[in-house]
C-alpha cells in the first residue's frame, strides 16, 4: 500500500477520508478518541503545505437530505480548537471546493450524499475530482464498501493509506500474523451469536481464549454447570463445546471460570455475591467473573507474549460487577505482552480503569476491528492493495 507519509504533499489538493463518527449528545462530543487519532494525519498534511479537505460520515442519515442531528458541525468546532485555526464546514462541495494550501476544511457528512451507501461510481468520481491525492485513513470504516472509501480509492488519481490506517494495520499484523507467543485473546460481550465467527477464527490461532460476559455463560452451561437466570444461548451449547474441543485438539485452552459474581437482578444496586461456579442457583444471574478466576486470568496475561482484547468480561457499567474487567485491564497494562484492544465497550472499559496509556495499541475500529480479527477482507484495504 502506498503510504501518505511517502508522498510530497506540498501544493497538492488532498482529500482525507477519516472516521470521525463519534458519539454526540445534545450537540456535545462524548468520546473524542477517534478525533484525537485522526488529528496527526490532518496536521501532517496541513503542515506539509497541502490544501486539505477532510471527509467523514456521522451516524446513518438518510441520503439526499440534510439532517442537523447528523451534521459534523460539532466535529468542525472540535477540529478548529485542536488545530488552532478555523476549520470551515462545507455543505455544497461535490462540484468543487475552495481551499488554500496550509488550510483545512471539513466536508459535511458524506452519508448525506446520494449514492454513498451503494458505492456509486458517479459519486466516487466526484470525490476523486476534488483532489490530486486521496488519503484513506478511516480504519473504522474500512469494512464498508462505500463511495467515499472503496469507490474513491479506485477513482482517485493517486490513492494512499493514511498514517492512522497504516498504524492500525501494522498493529493488527503484529498481534495476529506472527505474534509473540503465547497469544491470548479475550472475547467477551453479551452473545456468542454475534461473535461466533470471531471465536471460531481465534480458536484456530490463539494459545488461550478467555471468554467473558454472556458468552462465558454459554460456555459455563456447555461445561455442565448451572447458570440460573443468566443470559445464555441454549441453542449454542454444542457450538461452545465444539470450540473448546477444537482449541484442545491444537493444544490451546479455553478456561471456564471457577467462580462468578451473581445477583438476583440486572441492576446497579443489586446485591453482588461471589459464588463457586457449581453453586449458582436458579435465581442467580451471573454478571461478572469471580476474583479467583480474575486472578487466574491475570496470571495468564502476565505470561502472554501478545494479547488481543475485545469485550468487557462483566457488566462493568455497574461498579459491583466491574472488578473482573478491572483486574484484566490492569493485568494487560502491567504485562510485557504486546496488547491490542478494540470495540466500543472495550474502549469505555479502558478509559474507566485508566489504562489507555499502557495498552500497546488501541484500535479506533468497532465493526472493522472485529471483521479484521475474523479474518475477513476489508474492502477499502483490498482496494488500496490493488492500487499497489
* Residues labelled catalytic: 34, 191, 344, 367
Examine residue 108 and tell whether it contacts ligand 3PG (CB under 6 A).
no
Examine residue 151 and tell whether it contacts ligand 3PG (CB under 6 A).
no
Report d(CA 111, CA 329) in Å as an integer: 35
Q: In whole angstroms, how close is the CB of 75 to ligand 3PG at the nearest point?
A: 13
Residues 341-370 that bind ligand 3PG (CB under 6 A): 366-367
Say if residues 153 and 32 touch (Cβ distance below 8 Å): no
Figure out which of the listed residues 13, 18, 21, 54 binds ligand 3PG, where binding follows CB under 6 A.
21
Has 346 been labeled as part of a binding site? yes
Alpha helices in the chain (DSSP H): 33-47, 73-83, 121-129, 152-155, 163-176, 196-203, 213-222, 237-249, 291-303, 323-334, 344-352, 367-373, 379-387
**Cα-based distances in Å from 165 to 135, 227, 250:** 10, 42, 33
Has 325 been labeled as part of a binding site? no
**Cα-based distances in Å from 36 to 22, 40, 44, 158:** 11, 8, 13, 26
- Closest CA relative to residue 29, chosen from 40, 38, 42: 38
Has 19 been labeled as part of a binding site? yes
Burial grade of 73 (CB within 10 A; 0-12, 13-18, 19 or more): middle
Examine residue 371 and tell whether it contacts ligand 3PG (CB under 6 A).
no
Q: Toward ligand 3PG, which CB reaches closer, 60 or 303?
A: 60
Q: In whole angstroms, how close is the CB of 255 to ligand 3PG at the nearest point?
A: 30
Cell output for 189: 460481550
Examine residue 60 and tell whether it contacts ligand 3PG (CB under 6 A).
yes
Q: Toward ligand 3PG, which CB reaches closer, 21 or 124?
A: 21
Give, rounded to a whole angstrom, the gap between the first and last alpha carbons of the chain.
Answer: 5
Examine residue 19 and tell whether it contacts ligand 3PG (CB under 6 A).
yes
Residues 6+ apart with CB under 8 A from 369: 140, 172, 310, 342, 343, 363
Q: Toward ligand 3PG, which CB reaches closer, 21 or 230?
A: 21
Examine residue 140 and tell whether it contacts ligand 3PG (CB under 6 A).
yes
Figure out which of the listed residues 17, 144, 195, 323 binds ligand 3PG, where binding follows CB under 6 A.
144
Query: Among the candidate windows 138-146, 175-183, 197-205, 216-224, which touches ligand 3PG by CB under 6 A?
Result: 138-146
Figure out which of the listed residues 55, 109, 113, 141 binds ligand 3PG, where binding follows CB under 6 A.
141
Examine residue 116 and tell whether it contacts ligand 3PG (CB under 6 A).
no
Has 17 been labeled as part of a binding site? no
Give per-residue burial for 202-228: e unless 16+ CB within 10 Å, then b. Answer: bbebbbbbbbbbbbbbbbbbbbebebb
Q: Toward ligand 3PG, which CB reaches closer, 141 or 325?
A: 141
Query: Among the candidate windows 40-48, 140-148, 154-162, 282-290, which touches ligand 3PG by CB under 6 A?
Result: 140-148
Cβ-based neighbour number of residue 325 at 10 Å:
30
Query: Among the candidate windows 139-147, 223-231, 238-246, 328-336, which touches ligand 3PG by CB under 6 A?
Result: 139-147
Say if residues 187 and 209 touch (Cβ distance below 8 Å): yes
The per-residue DSSP string of 130-162 comes to: T-SEEEE--GGGTT---IIIIIHHHHSSEEEE-
Compute the Cα dihedral for 340, 344, 349, 354 and give only its sign. Answer: positive
Query: Among the candidate windows 137-145, 180-188, 289-297, 325-333, which touches ligand 3PG by CB under 6 A?
Result: 137-145
Q: Could you list the residues known to form a binding site for (2R)-3-phosphoglycerate, using ranges.
A: 34, 111, 144
Annotated binding site for ATP: 195, 317, 343-346
Which positions touch ligand 3PG (CB under 6 A)? 19, 21, 60, 140-141, 144, 366-367
Amino acid at each position: 500500500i502506498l503510504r501518505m507519509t511517502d508522498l510530497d504533499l506540498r501544493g497538492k489538493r488532498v482529500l482525507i477520508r477519516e472516521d470521525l463518527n463519534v458519539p454526540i449528545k445534545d450537540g456535545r462530543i462524548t468520546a473524542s478518541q477517534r478525533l484525537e487519532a485522526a488529528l496527526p494525519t490532518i496536521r501532517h498534511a496541513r503542515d506539509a503545505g497541502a490544501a486539505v479537505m477532510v471527509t467523514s460520515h456521522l451516524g446513518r442519515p438518510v441520503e439526499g437530505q440534510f439532517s442537523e442531528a447528523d451534521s459534523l458541525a460539532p466535529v468542525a468546532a472540535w477540529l478548529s480548537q485542536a488545530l488552532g485555526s478555523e476549520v470551515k464546514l462545507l455543505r455544497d462541495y461535490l462540484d468543487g471546493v475552495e481551499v488554500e494550501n496550509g488550510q483545512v476544511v471539513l466536508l459535511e457528512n458524506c452519508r448525506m450524499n446520494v449514492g454513498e451507501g451503494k458505492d456509486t461510481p458517479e459519486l466516487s468520481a466526484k470525490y476523486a475530482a476534488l483532489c490530486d491525492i486521496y488519503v484513506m485513513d478511516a480504519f473504522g470504516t474500512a469494512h464498508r464498501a462505500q463511495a467515499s472509501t472503496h469507490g474513491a480509492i479506485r477513482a482517485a488519481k493517486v490513492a494512499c493509506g493514511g498514517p492512522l490506517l497504516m498504524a492500525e494495520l501494522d498493529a493488527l499484523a503484529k498481534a495476529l500474523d506472527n505474534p509473540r507467543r503465547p497469544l491470548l485473546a479475550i472475547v467477551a460481550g453479551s452473545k456468542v451469536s454475534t461473535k461466533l465467527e470471531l471465536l471460531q477464527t481465534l480458536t484456530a490461532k490463539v494459545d488461550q481464549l478467555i471468554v467473558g460476559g454472556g458468552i462465558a455463560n454459554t460456555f459455563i452451561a456447555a461445561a455442565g454447570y448451572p447458570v440460573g437466570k443468566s443470559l445464555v444461548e441454549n441453542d449454542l451449547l454444542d457450538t461452545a463445546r465444539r470450540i473448546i474441543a477444537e482449541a484442545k485438539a491444537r493444544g490451546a485452552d479455553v478456561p471456564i471460570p471457577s467462580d462468578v459474581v451473581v445477583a438476583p437482578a440486572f441492576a446497579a444496586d443489586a446485591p453482588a455475591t461471589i459464588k463457586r461456579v457449581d453453586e449458582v442457583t436458579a435465581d442467580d444471574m451471573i454478571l461478572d467473573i469471580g476474583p479467583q478466576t480474575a486472578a487466574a486470568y491475570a496470571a495468564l496475561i502476565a505470561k502472554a507474549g501478545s494479547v488481543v482484547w475485545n469485550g468487557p468480561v462483566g457488566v462493568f457499567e455497574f461498579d459491583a460487577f466491574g472488578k473482573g474487567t478491572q483486574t484484566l485491564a490492569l493485568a494487560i497494562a502491567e504485562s510485557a505482552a504486546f496488547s491490542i484492544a478494540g470495540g466500543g465497550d472495550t474502549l469505555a472499559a479502558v478509559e474507566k480503569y485508566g489504562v489507555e496509556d499502557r495498552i500497546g495499541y488501541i484500535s479506533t475500529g468497532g465493526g472493522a476491528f472485529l471483521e479484521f480479527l475474523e479474518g475477513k477482507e476489508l474492502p477499502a484495504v483490498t482496494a488500496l492493495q490493488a492500487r499497489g
